A and B are shown apart, each in its own frame.
Chain A
């Protein structure tokens, strides 16, 4: 039969006892000196703090953060406003309106149909990534960034101006 009292997973288990203290223990000073040694060791230890705006904690490669609407290698928007992302969204955070591409806009939009408006409510979004999985055109991805704080609720409804990939990022994407 196992003696359960002897099990100590941390290896530091001590049985509680109420025996009276010995003279050395009553002096307190050895124990205090030991404790001060421990705190002094911590004083010189490397610090756990990450200085946020300058340093950032590294995220896991599968981290799901703020969304991005992709452009193709020519800088044209990939989204065709099919609505599959909105349909798949369990939080119903995505809304969009579609429009038809006019002649001469081929450098702006990849397909004949595009999203005239595309909004994600970041307060509703649960960052599950189902929109990313549903998209047949590889137009929406979740990035490694976090959605920054805002003072007003309206500030969290992200339109195309906040979601679309920046032109300078298109080149980076082509290089990568």
Chain B
């Protein structure tokens, strides 16, 4: 029994790892193509059919570049930085439920590496470790631009973590659980008939303000435009990865796309019902559990991929914030709003009497 359990979990972990890598790989390609489309261009379409081999060409390019290490007293930290950033980006995927349950040969298989009851806390914790990857890399580079980029990154990420955590609290007050699977199961189906009057069950409709705050914070946490100040080319050359080359730079850039993928997955779990989709009970009755679950996995990935597209869409729309605007938005707008949202949520829960 135990060996089967370990096999099953290893298989899920390997699959999730492979899918994460594949999606991150093609996000780099997708970013270039979407960037081109938003600017009335076509983008890379020469390598292979439709340019689909472009990521491989990029990878070969990255591997064959000179692996330069600057004259720094912290050679170990310089190598450790991208490793740490990549690892923290990947760890979060372990608690994400990618689908409901499959029934294979009498066993119930949950499509999730680990269903821990503090998953939300775990995600927040790992995300804050992500700062160290940038900080260590920028510090060890022994370069003022790298250091400035790293300082910006860490102050930005720490500031926005507060608003992010506070915005999740109001979601947790509604869901009454910290487990990501529990939160998703609370958003069952599409329309919630259980209350006094029917309303959409997804939390984006129940907690729109929390969603907005979380979304803005997610952009800031992943260092994407309009909050990409850590690698702001016009002021800081390349930010914290100025001194990096070859595959170490590749790791930093790649981890950014993994972060994008994971954070859109979290957004879809917390606010868009994860693997829930309209009419899932009907499908379950008609086609059985397994088919319903597989469609659910499809729904989950569709929501996540749309999230990635949304990241790119915003990148080519909104210009970069100035540093003081960024800090004003984080501390003076988002945090008070998040606290206000908690108060409103609490008042509604008490007044509605449950």
Contact = CB atoms under 8 A, between A and B. Distances in A.
A47 interface: yes
B321 to A, nearest CB: 10
B314 A36 contact: yes
Contacts of B45: 51
Contacts of A40: 313
A42 B42 CA distance: 12
B66 interface: no
Interface in B302-354: 313-314, 316-318
A8 interface: no
A42 B314 contact: no
Contacts of B63: none
Given A36-B313, A40-B313, A47 B41 contact: yes
B38 A39 contact: yes
A48 B38 contact: no
Given A42-B37, A43-B34, 18 more contacts: A32-B317, A32-B318, A35-B317, A35-B318, A36-B313, A36-B314, A36-B317, A38-B317, A39-B316, A39-B317, A42-B39, A43-B38, A47-B41, A47-B42, A48-B41, A49-B40, A49-B42, A51-B42
Query: Which 4 residue pairs are nearest across A and B when measured between Cβ atoms?
Result: A49-B42, A39-B317, A35-B317, A43-B37
A49 B38 contact: no
Which has the most chain A C-beta neighbours within 10 Å: B34, B39, B313, B317? Answer: B317
Interface residues of B, number: 14
B53 to A, nearest CB: 17
B317 A48 contact: no
Nearest to A45: B40
Contacts of A36: 313-314, 317
A40 B39 CA distance: 10
Nearest to A51: B42
Contacts of A48: 40-41
Contacts of B212: 29
Interface in A75-132: none
Nearest to A29: B212
9 contacts: A32-B318, A36-B314, A43-B37, A45-B40, A47-B40, A47-B42, A48-B41, A49-B42, A51-B45
Contacts of A35: 317-318
Interface string B1-41: 00000000000000000000000000000000010011111
A47 B38 CA distance: 10
A39 B316 CA distance: 7
Contacts of A42: 37-40
B45 to A, nearest CB: 8
Contact of B37 (A29, A32, A47): A47
A47 to B, nearest CB: 5
Contacts of B314: 36
Interface in A28-58: 29, 32, 35-36, 38-40, 42-43, 45, 47-49, 51
Contacts of A51: 42, 45
Interface in A19-34: 29, 32
A32 B314 CA distance: 9
Contacts of B40: 42, 45, 47-49
A38 B134 CA distance: 34
Contacts of B317: 32, 35-36, 38-39
B171 to A, nearest CB: 20
Nearest to B42: A49
Contacts of B39: 42
B204 to A, nearest CB: 15
Contacts of B37: 42-43, 47
Nearest to A26: B333
Contact of A39 (B41, B42, B313): B313
A63 B38 CA distance: 33
Nearest to A35: B317
A145 B260 CA distance: 47
Nearest to B45: A51
Interface string A59-84: 00000000000000000000000000
A158 B34 CA distance: 43
Interface string B36-80: 011111100100000000000000000000000000000000000
Nearest to A40: B313
Nearest to A50: B42
Contacts of B41: 47-49
